[in-house]
Structure formats: C-alpha cells, structure tokens
Chains A and B, each alone.
Chain A
Amino acid sequence: MELLRELTCLDGVSGDEKDVRNLIYDKIKDDIDSYNVDNIGNLIALKKTRIIKNNNPLKIMLAAHMDEVGFMVSGITEHGLIRFFSIGSIDERIIPGCTMIIGKNKIPGIAEFINSADNKISLNNLVIDIGAKSYKETSNYINLGDFISFKSESILLRENILKAKALDDRAGCAVLIDMLKESYDFDLYACFTVQEEIGLLGAAVASYSVNPDIAFIVEGTTCSDLDNVDPVEYSTILGEGPAVSIMDKSTIYNNSIRDFIIKVAKENQIKLQIKNTFTGGNDSAKIQRSNKGVLVEVISIPVRYIHSPNSIMNMNDFIETKKLLSGVLREVRNLLE
C-alpha cells in the first residue's frame, strides 16, 4: 500500500519518467542481478534463474509502464496564462478546476475554463493560471515544452478503495516490483517501460533488447461499471479481480495463454474476469510484434476514472493480480513446454 502511495504521488508524464524510474530502482536494487536503463529510458531489470548450470534459460518478460497521461506547455499568453496540449488520451471535460504541477520547479497552477461562443470545453478554451500577471513573469518560471501533471493526493476512500492519480500504470509497476522478490527457474526481465501513453514506444525498444520467449503485461485498465453506463460498456467491474483480454484495438491475444491463466486462477481460487470491451491498447501490441514475434497476454487491474487525477482502484483486485501473476510465473514453464 505504501509503495503504491509513493509511486502515485510522483509525476511522470510520458517522456519525463525519471523520478518514477529512480524510485523503482531504489525499491528493486537489492532483489535483482543486473539492470539497464536503455537509450529511451526504459528500466530493464534482470533476475537470473536460480538454476546455476543452465546455459539457455527461458526468458520471461514482464512489462508495466512508468509514464502517466499529462500535458505540455505549448504557449504563454500576454497576460501570463499558459496554453497547453494533452499527452495521452484525456477527456478534456475533466480538466477545468484541476490543480496542475508545471515544470522542474513544480510550480502549481489551476486549469481554468475561458468561456467560448460554443460553450464547449476543449483545449482551445482552457488555460493554466499560476498567478502571474504577464508573459514576462510567467516565462521566469515556465518554459515552452515543460511537462504538466495532475496534482492529486493518494488516499484510501475506505479500507480497500484507493484514490490516486496514475494508477495506470503505477499499479502495474508495483506488481512487478513485488514479483522481483521471488526466485524463479527462468530469467525474469522486469521491464518498466516509458511513453506507453503516446504510442507504446518504450515497449517496442525493450522487447527488441530482451527478445523474450513470452511476455506478460500488467496494466491498469478501463472500468466503467457505473449506473448510467450500459453494462456492455463496463469493460471491467471493480472488485471482481484482475482481467484478461481477448483482444483490443491493437492486439488479438493468444487463446492458449488466456486459457492457461484462467486455469491458474481457478486452481488458486483467484477472482478473474474477461475484459468485455475491445477499446484501447497497451504495450502488448509492440511486444507481440517485436523480433520474430512474442507470445503475449495482458493481466489488467480495473481502474475507475482512468486517465484522470482521481482514479479509483480496489486493493483486493491489486492483491489478486499479484497472486495471479505469481501463480502464472510458477506454472509458465509447463505452458511453454
């Protein structure tokens, strides 16, 4: 829980994952044999097989992305207000009123809606106000291209319901950190990837380097189980355990792997659901198509209000995800053989 809190309090918009990477390294350094930060910022940690004389061990890749959705400064008005664009997919209607943290100096600002003729909320009529009175004053603190992230507290709404930003995919990162504490009879590559939210960029590079036999992606996923939403659009249901996917916008998943995961869940009495929408995408798309092709499956943790400063996750789903992945890793050799 504390780890999740730490991870979700950090700012790590796509392209600016350094703080998240440093924290993750700090948490895993005693549990890994080696690591590499590649040219685009992925943190690839290796936990070598416990079988000493194995010259050609299986290579299992786990992936979770470090980045979160956010914004970038695109301009400063003559009155010192900040214009910005989105990094990743964000419902623009949630932006007004949000407290933002801008740039390396962590300047706080408020996203505000400037009334427009059509009365619709879009980036064209949104600004961030840091209290400055002029272009000159704002440019003393803010540069074009500065990253902007949501400011949000990470708190428990009740005993097992966590409210935080960036649960997509710091929750996945926390699961991977936990997996590195165990020993395995294969080489485990835990890849903490960058820039997932802007086109799955880090995963492509990481998968090329690792060239795994199979990869499991751990993701925070959409959960829209609200009363004003048609149940066919629920995607996942909060509290019903992790989800496996049949397909999404960019990947058709392998039936055998999905069946294997369902079997592991049943044997270990772990709640599991099948994601019932095919929207969105994740790192598996790039990993699946890397090198000569890689077997992939995504294990997702339901997150309500994803890509907003106030996402909600059921901690039981998080714990069940860890149990499931742990079980999958124990049995994965049987699947591949």
Chain B
Amino acid sequence: MIKEVVLDFDIILRKLAKTYPGNVSNNLLSEKRLISKILYDCGIKPEEDDHGNILCSETGTYVKKYLIFSAYDEEGFLVSKIDRRGFISLAKAGNIDERLLLGSEVIIHGKELVLGIVGAKPPHLLSSSEKENPVKCENVTVDTGFTPEKICKMISIGDSVSLKGELIELLNKRFAGASISVKALTAMLLSMINNRELEKFKSQTCISFAYSRQNNYQNLYRILYRVRPDFIIFLDAVNVSSDPLEYNKILLGNGPVIIKNPVVDRDYTQLLFQIAENMNIPVQEKVIPFKVQTMSYLAQTFEGGISSVHISVPVLYRNSSKEIVDREDINKCRKLLLAFFKSELNL
C-alpha cells in the first residue's frame, strides 16, 4: 500500500502560492530559491544551472536513469515601458490570456516587489465600442500609485510581472490561483522528495524543475545534456474538455491524463494504463495531435533518442488568472508515478 501524505503537499503548495509569484518565463528570479531551500531542507543538494533550471537526484541502485521533467515557470508579463506619469506598460511572456488582464492585481518584480493594478477606465466613461473590444496587453497600463521618479528607482524595463496569486480553496478539495497547475505539480514533486518516496527504488531518478518551458521548452535540451537519461516522464497540465459533444471528455477530479501521440513510447504508455488498472487508480486518456514542438518529440530526437511517457493533470481555465486544479488528481498522479517506479523493479 502506498502511503498518502497530503499534509506536506498542502504546506508546500501554500508556500509556493504565497512566496512564489514571478517565475515568469525567461526572467530568472530569486523565487527559485524557495524550491532549492525546500530541497536543502530535505537534505538534498540541488544542482542549479545558469538558466534557472533546478535538478536533484534520488539515488537508488543504478539500473536505469529516469528523468521526471516538470516546469516551474509561469505565465506572465515583462515591463516594456514606464511612462512620464509612472504608469507601466506590459509585454506578454507566455500564453496568458490577455483579455483577462483588466482590473487584475499584479506584482512587479523589480529591486523590490511592487503591487500594481491593471487600470480600467470607469464604466461611466466607456463608449459602447470600448466595452465590446477585448483588452490587449499593449492597451493597458499598471498603476502602482508611485511617482515616476520613485517607480523608476524600484523597477526597470524587462522586469517580470506576474498575476497576484493567492490560493483559493473551493469545494471538493479543489483550489484556484494563478498558474496553480504548475505550482501543484512542483509541490507534489517536492513533497515526494521530502518523503523520500523515490529513494527506495532501484533506478536513479532525476527530477528537474525547468525554467522557460512557456517559451518553447528551451531548457529541455540543457537538462537532457546534463542528465542524459534513459527514459523521461513528462509532467504537465492539460485543459479539461470544453466541447460538450466530445465523448472521451477530460474532466476535473477523474484522475491524471495519460497522453497519447505518435512520439510517446507505446509500450510504456500501455504499461501506465495497466498499472493504473491493477492499482485501481482512475486515469483519463487524451490524444494530442502531432506537433513538432512537443516535449516528447524533442526528447525523442535528442542524440541517440530517448523514450518518454507523458502524464498531465487536468486543469480548468488554463492560462487564465485563476486556474482550478483538483487535489485528488494530484494525489492520483503521485500514486501512478510511484506505482510506475515500483513496477520497474519487476521489469
């Protein structure tokens, strides 16, 4: 029986949601220190590279080297301009839905953290065409309340801007927040490391918390060069189905999603389904159309080629300012991972 440790996950997730905003793609920030600190607290010395990636290993008897690849950067913005009155313009970093910006609270990561509001014209003054037009990033500004002289001392062009991400507890053990799917997966892996859950297996497992995934997985190759794994498990989030006519809908709370596409390893993917059935772990499946820039494609063509499987956690309203994730899906994902490694002992 695999032990469930929910408490650790919750504590870590809260820490991440509170002190973790601002890991906006392509903008290396000190928040990665939190992940490193948690790893140090677990007695593990993480490796950090110059690009913001963090690596750590659970060393078993070396038979096969596995890499669990997960990202910790989030969608956000960069400061593109500070105007003469101290209002700040933004440029997108990642795929965040810019229509949702208006009226939001954001945190600017300058020399210090500065809270700002994405300004909206009062509804009393809006023309009907203004009301109908979706908001674009280039048309909004951030108001920090500071004078231009003061704000220019605190922030600079290129500083990252993230949505303020408080953790909101909803019904059915669901929770919401900015980039919460990324944070939940990071919290899950950190709590697994904390509990030494992977240490007991024969294989060596490297866990990577990658940076800049939102910008076309730039750091995947850097990590692959470093680790040179035999096998990769990709972890990320997948949108729940919005098409009401879809038969095999991806739903929140129905378990992790095993991704099928032409490049993931067929046998290992099948093994995941088999394990899930044997262990009574509910899983869902999703077929992702073949695209060149998927993580599994990049891995498959790296050097001599690396096999991979791809597990996703369902997320509602992905890339919005408040994603929703089900805690049960995270628990099931963790169980599936552990069962997979356990089964490897018998392979």
Contacts and interface: CB of A to CB of B under 8 A. Distances in A.
A90 B324 contact: no
B143 interface: yes
Interface stretch (A6-14, A106-114, A173-181): A106-114
Interface string A91-133: 1111011110000000111101111000111000000011111
Contacts of B116: 157
Nearest to A155: B115
A11 to B, nearest CB: 16
B261 to A, nearest CB: 23
B119 interface: yes
A163 interface: yes
Nearest to A131: B170
B320 A113 contact: yes
Interface string A125-162: 00001111100010001000000000000010110010
A91 B126 contact: yes
A129 to B, nearest CB: 6
A280 B124 contact: yes
A89 B83 CA distance: 30
Interface string B109-135: 000000111011111111000011011
A242 B266 CA distance: 70
Interface stretch (A28-36, A47-55, A286-294, A304-312): A304-312
A279 B125 contact: yes
A279 B103 contact: no
Name the interface size band of chain B: 35 or more
Given A91-B120, A307-B122, A113 B99 contact: yes
B103 A310 contact: yes
B172 A132 contact: yes
Contact of A96 (B100, B168, B242, B324): B100
Contacts of A228: 139, 141
Nearest to A235: B125
B126 to A, nearest CB: 6
Given A94-B103, A113-B320, A108 B139 contact: no
B170 A108 contact: yes
A129 B326 CA distance: 13
Interface string B167-211: 011111010100000000000000000000000000000000000
B123 A307 contact: yes
Interface residues of A, number: 53
A157 B169 contact: no
B122 A224 contact: yes
A91 B84 contact: no
Given A114-B242, A235-B122, A310-B117, A97 B135 contact: no
Contact of A97 (B123, B125, B144, B320): B320
Contacts, number: 153
Interface centre among A89, A97, A113 (most CB of B within 10 A): A97
A277 interface: yes
Contacts of B99: 93, 96, 113, 119, 121
Contact of A132 (B100, B169, B171, B320): B171
Contact of A90 (B117, B123, B253, B317): B123
Given A110-B176, A312-B145, A98 B171 contact: no
A102 B291 CA distance: 42
B329 interface: no
Nearest to A280: B124
B123 A226 contact: no
Interface string B4-18: 000000000000000
B135 A93 contact: yes
A108 B176 CA distance: 10
B53 interface: no
Given A94-B102, A98-B103, A312 B170 contact: no
Interface centre among A109, A155, A305 (most CB of B within 10 A): A305
Contacts of A224: 121-122, 125
B322 interface: yes
Contacts of A114: 242
A223 B125 CA distance: 10
Contacts of B324: 110, 112, 129, 131
B131 A93 contact: yes
6 contacts: A91-B123, A108-B169, A112-B324, A113-B320, A131-B176, A157-B144
**A-B pairs, 6 with minimum CB distance:** A131-B170, A94-B103, A97-B321, A161-B145, A131-B171, A131-B174
Given A113-B317, A130-B171, 12 more contacts: A91-B120, A96-B100, A97-B321, A110-B170, A112-B317, A121-B134, A129-B170, A131-B172, A133-B253, A158-B145, A224-B121, A227-B141
Interface of B: 83-85, 87, 97, 99-100, 102-105, 115-117, 119-126, 131-132, 134-135, 139, 141, 143-146, 163, 166, 168-172, 174, 176, 242, 253, 316-317, 320-322, 324
